[in-house]
Amino acid sequence: MARGRRRKLHLSKIYTFACGKPSVKDHDQIGQPGFSRVVFCNEPDHYEAKIRNYADNYVRTTKYTLASFLPKSLFEQFRRVANFFFLVTGILSFTDVAPYSAISAILPLTIVIAATMVKEGVEDWHRKQQDIEVNNRNVKVHNGDGTFHDTEWRNLKVGDIVRVEKDQFFPADILLLSSSYEDGACYVETMNLDGETNLKLKQALEATSSLSEDSDFQDFKAVIRCEDPNAHLYTFVGTMELEERHCPLNPQQLLLRDSKLRNTDYIYGAVIFTGHDTKVIQNSTDAPSKRSKVEKKMDKLIYLLFFVLFVISFIGSIIFGIITKDDLQNGRMKRWYLRPDDTTVFYDPKKAPIAAILHFLTAVMLYTYFIPISLYVSIEIVKVLQTIFINQDIHMYDEETDKPAHARTSNLNEELGQVDTILSDKTGTLTCNSMEFIKCSVAGTAYGRGITEVERAMAKRKGSPLANGVNSNDKAEDAKSGKSLVKGFNFKDERIMHGNWVNEPHADVIQGFLRLLAICHTAIPEVDEETGHVSYEAESPDEAAFVIAARELGFEFYKRTQTTISIHELDLVSGKKVERVYDLLNVLEFNSTRKRMSVIVRNQEGKLLLLCKGADSVMFERLDKNSLDFEEDTRNHVNQYADAGLRTLILAYRELDEGEYVEFNKKFIEAKSSVSADREALIDEVTERMERNLVLIGATAVEDKLQHGVPDCIDKLAQAGIKIWVLTGDKMETAINIGFACSLLRQGMKQIIISLETPDIKALEKVEDKDVVTKASKECVLQQITTGKTQVTGSSEAYALIIDGKSLAYALQDDVKNLFLELAIGCASVICCRSSPKQKALVTRMVKLGTGKTTLAIGDGANDVGMLQEADIGIGISGVEGMQAVMSSDVSIAQFQYLQRLLLVHGHWCYRRISTMICYFFYKNITFGFTLFLYEAHAAFSGQPAYNDWFMTFYNVFFTSLPPIALGVFDQDVSARFCLKFPLLYQEGVQNVLFNWRRILSWMFNGVYSAMIIFFFCIRALDSEAFNSAGKTVGREILGTTMYTCLVWVVNCQMALTINYFTLIHHIFIWGSIALWYLFLIAFGAMSPSISSTAYQVFVEALAPAPTFWFLILFVVISALVPFYAYSALQMRFYPMYHGMIQWLRLEGQTDDPEYCNMVRQRSIRPQTVGVSARRVAR
């Protein structure tokens, strides 16, 4: 069935990667191990295909299946040492050594494990829903009779012929057969694969490109032999056997799953790899497992409690064994009530060692209550709720992009409050990655009157009028528009705009400059049929800015075919707009090695032109030595633009003669036709010869603006004591000036610059071999680092360290990196320029391991993924460079400015809440466990618990579980406004003052003290005295219930004293837990004695009527809590911590008193040396 007229293309003459016909000799490995896949196109049910049993196209990302959920989830739960310990004690509870009933031991473990498994199940169910949505997407598949029908992705088989429409995702790895373009080309967006937003061009084989209709596939048969499934995204080797022809295949024919068809109406393709065999799924790896430092220390605390548990059990068992041995001496019984003359092995004096061993097991089981069984599940619940608050924070929602903050993991919430060093990308993170054409230099004349943010910052340093924003010609216009009227174009100069360039002295050069901007690119125009407006799809924001600038200045690129570029341009002679068509012969593409791109075109007069643009580092050396009329002026302008924080490119051209071009094109095609390992090197060698003796035209300058709020955000983070490093691929000059603009650098700050751009090294590079240059370079870097360290050591001045990529490679070597890190730590700011993605990750690892402090990396591009995964916390900016960084991050935000709220507010709150919550958990369990220990010691270590079995079971599950969760979710020491106003509060997390060993042990001591108060006061108050008016004395059931009631009151009231910010939920959970205990005691006591045992009617008949019970509770609670209250009050009054000082400010109404606030700020542990505030102080 016809689908409209096909577009005409002739790709074979253009793209360097699109046209070669690989020689069959390079595919000799087909059929060998690793290259054994055979695909029968249009015959998915071929008998041989069934024998090979290829994977189906159903993709599963869930962690569990219905069958594996129970065993796998249980295995995950019992990998935790605490859970495994409780499982062992639960099993032992079925034996006679257990001090309590089996069900009371198993039930709390069951509840905790079940709650965690439910959470795991819900999370996996969400993944299942996503899988269902993806697998049920529709695609058109060939029926076998020349027609196509819709089917779900999951039903596809290897060999199926599919038809994919524009803007649809590819359902599997597909071999491109043909497209809506005549030459079988198509455009593909690979953002989901590599994070790049630019379009890639794919090319079908010439043998199949004529299959343009649905009906053409009725009799189509072919056999593809290719490589086996693998994770290499950019390689593919195979051959197609079609009508007795063998056609070599390469990556240009492979369309990968999850990439999208763009700017192409439709394509036909054969399914090669399905489901988990596709390259994108083969590349799927689990993100590195990250755990917070608080959680790691919590594990150590658990191990400490295990040690304490075993020690006291061991000591108690020894004492028990000694006492048991002495129970029967010469027929006299000391503990006659145990009948040592006629007893079981547990109390037999003749078998005292065995009795001691059995008692050890009993004691271990009894003291399990030292270990907070519900701690892990409570923390998981709290962290999930905390991430919901982060995700719902309206102050971190970006309205322009409609993107909120998104915490992709809840494991690192408290880590956000302990960041010591931030390592940031520049482009797209500190800046917008939205380029604007703002200045240019043509024929040695500078054009463009716009003022960049960096220039304003520089003017501030020099006291120039520009610092006040004075630009009289544009001020009113800027005030009205607030931003550039045309996205990507912020150029203002009446000498060139509105066609006035024709009156300039070098009008012909300006014409060539604008024409080059309009022609030398790979952008794709899209014309709005209603308005006629032309927009562009470009490989990068820079390239889009160039074609937009050409359009706005009179050279409108509006149409591209694979052999021509059409432009509406202003004719220099007639002064009118004319349409000119240029034959596009070759595109010599940009890459990071070449640092330039060129096109070869033929104009309407028949002239052959090579148009080239590239970095100044590679372009100036390629200029014709006889055409350097304005090279010096252009160099000066480029340096000025770099100083202004602009990204620059040099533009040049050369006229070619016909013979020269024919010879080049022959060699070029030969180089492209190779699929050997040195193919790229062959192409570079050929193009190198052509891109010589160029005639300079001028230079462009585009601005990548700072994101809104970046300087203020950096200032707040610096006030918080956080160090900020910038890792960028930009030139040193650009990075330095961006540093000034965002206040990382300031006037008067001394700069330590480590660079290999020295005359000695350059001279060596020209004459010496590689080994000599390497040795000299390393010595040079080492000397510069040593000199810098000498400057920094003992100096009170602020230093900035700036290092380039070549030097960084040596600084990161094992024998140098420690010295380099010491220098960097001593500097206020660190900027690493020309850094590769690998270097970014290595620097991050060096800082993380070298300092032992929490590191945070933030970036927005695929080149930042290694850095984000290496850091303790990875923050992805959901910008314009795709979603790769976001998908690899722990938290994503829309703009850098939101980092201050994420860290200073949510990070501080989460750190404080989690730290206090963990300390409280250990406090309440030590209080409970130590009362058990004291009672057992009181009972001669007989293994008898003080409390009813079910009292012990429900202590962690019901009566003390909810208040710490409320604290972990809602507590605030100060409000968000004060967190931002006094960033020094964040230093509590940086110093870890809320979860250091001193604070942890003080909470533990508080637990021991509370347990002693509860036990000894209850014992002494109730021992050997009438308990009520009937003269009844106290038994174990009354003593145990009274102690337990005091315990519930004390630990819940302790929570009330700990909370800083009461909400209704706090009140309900704290007082509700106490009320729940009384309700439980009444209801449980009303049950049959066979169930309630020692608790039968104990409250109603014995405790409630006795005034002693109520007075004792009041006395015990006050006595247990007074020391904590007194200590907190004294500390708050005389030695307040940071949050305490801010609470005093708020209480006394002095939050707006500059003098008092400044006094509080001076308590900072780290003097502020960067940021806007430091700049003001330096004045």
**What is the total residue count of the chain?**
1179
1058 close to 916: Cβ distance less than 8 angstroms: yes
Q: How open is the CA angle 1141-1146-1150, to the nearest 5 degrees? A: 90
Long-range contacts of 93-96 (CB under 8 A, 24+ apart): 93/365, 96/346
Over range 284-313, report the average pLDDT. 82
Q: Give the CA count within 13 Å in the CB-facing half-sphere of 569.
A: 26
Q: pLDDT at residue 376 above 80?
A: yes
Strands (E), 199-300: 199-203, 222-226, 238-242, 245-249, 254-255, 260-262, 266-273
CA gap 582, 1168 in Å, rounded: 58
Catalytic residue of the set 194, 214, 425, 616: 425
How much is the pLDDT for 172? Answer: 94
Residue of higher predicted confidence among 50 and 345: 50
Is the separation of the CB atoms in 859 and 852 below 8 Å?
A: no
Beta bridge partners, 38, equal: 225
Any idea which of 700-704, 872-876, 1044-1048 has the lowest mean pLDDT? 700-704
- Spatial separation of the C-alpha atoms in residues 461 and 714, rounded to whole Å: 18
β-strand pairing of 431-442 with 445-447: antiparallel
Please tell me the predicted confidence (pLDDT) of residue 909. 95
- Residue 410 above 90 pLDDT? no
DSSP symbol at 195 = S
Q: pLDDT class for 642, splitting at 50, 70, 90?
A: confident
User: Which of 329-338, 672-681, 1017-1026, 1164-1173 has the highest mean predicted lDDT (pLDDT)?
Assistant: 1017-1026
Task: Give the span between the Cα atoms of 983 and 989, in whole angstroms.
Answer: 11
**Cα–Cα distances in Å, from 151 out to 135, 138, 162?**
10, 5, 10
Confidence band (pLDDT; 50, 70, 90) for 1081? very high
Calculate mean pLDDT across residues 1077-1085. 95
Q: What integer pLDDT is reported at residue 1087 of this predicted model?
A: 93
Question: Which has the higher per-residue pLDDT, 427 or 598?
Answer: 598
Among 776, 753, 754, smallest CA distance to 763 is for: 776
Q: For residue 920, give the amino acid letter.
A: Y
Q: What is the pLDDT of residue 701?
A: 92
DSSP character at residue 259: -
Q: What local confidence, expressed as pLDDT, does residue 350 receive?
A: 79
Residue 201 has pLDDT above 90, yes or no: no
DSSP state of 902: I
Lowest mean pLDDT among 451-455, 817-821, 956-960, 1124-1128: 451-455
Using CA atoms, how far residue 543 sits from 489, 626, 701, in Å, is 12, 30, 12
Is pLDDT at 855 greater than 90 in this prediction?
yes
**What's residue 588's pLDDT?**
87
* Strands annotated E in 7-89: 37-41
d(CA 903, CA 535): 39
Whole-angstrom distance, CA of residue 127 vs CA of residue 132 = 9
CB 182 within 8 A of CB 216: no
Tokens of 371: 């270990």
Hey, which residues does 503 pair with through a beta bridge? none
Compare 1028 and 435 and report the one with higher pLDDT.
435
> What does DSSP assign to residue 288?
P
% of the chain beyond a pLDDT of 70: 87
**pLDDT grade, residue 1159 (50/70/90)?**
low
Would the pLDDT of 476 be above 50? no
Name the more confident of 1018 and 127: 1018
Residue 626: count other Cβ atoms within 10 Å of its Cβ: 8
**CB < 8 Å & 24+ apart, contacts of 388-395:** 389/906, 389/969, 390/891, 390/902, 390/906, 393/901, 393/906, 395/898, 395/901, 395/976
Cα Rg, the chain, nearest whole Å: 38
Phi and psi torsions of 608, nearest 5°: -95, 125
CB atoms under 10 Å from CB of 596, counted, come to 24
When pLDDT is averaged across residues 162-191 and rounded to a whole number, the result is 89
- Coil, helix or strand at residue 433: strand
List b or e across 228-237, with b for residues whose CB sees 16 or more CB atoms inside 10 angstroms.
ebeeebeebb
Identify the CA nearest to 147 among candidates 218, 41, 45.
218
pLDDT of residue 168: 92
- CA–CA gap between residue 13 and residue 601 (Å, rounded): 11
Helix 81-92 vs helix 102-135: crossing angle, to nearest 10: 140
Cβ–Cβ < 8 Å for 699, 651: yes
Residue type, 464: S
Q: Looking at the predicted structure, is the pLDDT value of residue 304 above 80?
A: yes
pLDDT (average), residues 134-159: 92
Per-residue pLDDT tens digits for 863-902: 787 888 899 999 988 865 556 677 778 899 999 999 999 9
Contact 230, 279 (CB under 8 A): yes
Q: Please give the C-alpha separations between residue 784 and each of 735, 780, 781, 824, in angstroms, as whole numbers.
A: 20, 6, 5, 13
Has 393 been annotated as catalytic? no
Dist. CA 113–CA 380, nearest whole Å: 12
Q: Looking at this protein, which amino acid is placed at residue 1028?
A: N
pLDDT score of 1163 more than 60: no
Q: Grade residue 280 by pLDDT with cuts at 50, 70 and 90.
A: confident
The DSSP secondary structure of 347-359, one letter per residue, reads: S-GGGHHHHHHHH
pLDDT band at 100; cut points 50, 70, 90: confident
pLDDT band, residue 113 (cuts 50/70/90): confident
Task: Answer whether 170's CB lies under 8 Å from 164's CB.
Answer: yes
Phi, psi of 696 (to 5 degrees): -70, 135
> What phi-psi label fits residue 842: left (phi over 0), alpha (psi between -120 and 50 degrees) or beta?
alpha
Alpha-carbon distance values, 884 to 433, 838, 862, 889 (Å)? 16, 16, 5, 9
Weakest mean pLDDT among 327-336, 821-830, 894-903, 1128-1137: 327-336
pLDDT greater than 80 at residue 1119: yes
303 vs 627, higher pLDDT: 303
Average pLDDT rounded to a whole number, residues 85-92:
87
C-alpha to C-alpha distance for 161 and 269, rounded to whole angstroms: 6
pLDDT digits (tens, 9 = 90+) for 723-740: 999 998 777 777 777 787
| Degrees to nearest 5, angle at CA 417 with 412 and 419 | 90
Average pLDDT over residues 550-561: 90
pLDDT of amino acid 15: 41
pLDDT at residue 460, rounded to an integer: 65
Q: Which of 492-506, 801-815, 1039-1053 has the highest mean pLDDT?
A: 1039-1053
Residue 679: pLDDT band with limits 50, 70, 90: low
- Range 846-879 burial, b when 16+ CB lie within 10 A, else e: bbbebeebbbbbbbbbbbbbbbbbbbbbbbbbbb
Name the least confident of 13-27, 193-207, 355-369.
13-27
Asked whether 528 and 491 are in contact (CB, 8 A), the reply is no
Rounded-to-integer distance, Cα 1114 and Cα 1018, Å: 12
Residue 1112 has pLDDT above 60, yes or no: yes
Has residue 523 got a pLDDT over 60? Answer: yes
Q: Is the pLDDT of residue 391 over 60?
A: yes
Return the axis-axis angle of helices 375-391 and 908-938, rounded to nearest 10°: 160
Provide the terminal-to-terminal Cα distance of the chain, rounded to the nearest Å: 76
Q: Residue 1129: is its pLDDT beyond 50?
A: yes
Most confident among 21-35, 173-187, 340-354, 733-747 (mean pLDDT):
173-187
Q: Are 1034 and 951 in contact (CB under 8 A)?
A: no
8 A C-beta contact, residue 178 and residue 212: yes
Instruction: Encode pLDDT of 1054-1074 as tens digits.
Output: 999 999 999 999 999 999 999
Residues 792-818: tens digit of each pLDDT: 887 778 889 999 888 898 999 999 999
CA–CA dist 999, 996 (Å, integer)? 5
**Whole-number Å distance between alpha carbons of 992 and 1003:** 15
Which of 695, 546, 688, 686 is CA-nearest to residue 620?
Answer: 695
Residue 12, pLDDT > 70, answer no
Instruction: Give residue-wise pLDDT tens across range 259-279.
Output: 889 888 899 999 999 998 988
Is the model's pLDDT at 660 over the cut of 50?
yes
Across 280-308, average pLDDT: 80
Residue type at position 429: T
Among residues 738, 942, 888, the alpha carbon closest in space to that of 317 is found at: 942
- Asked if the model's pLDDT at residue 16 lies above 60, the reply is no
**pTM score > 0.85 for this model?**
no
Largest Cα separation within the chain, whole Å, is 132
Place of tokens 């033929």: 602
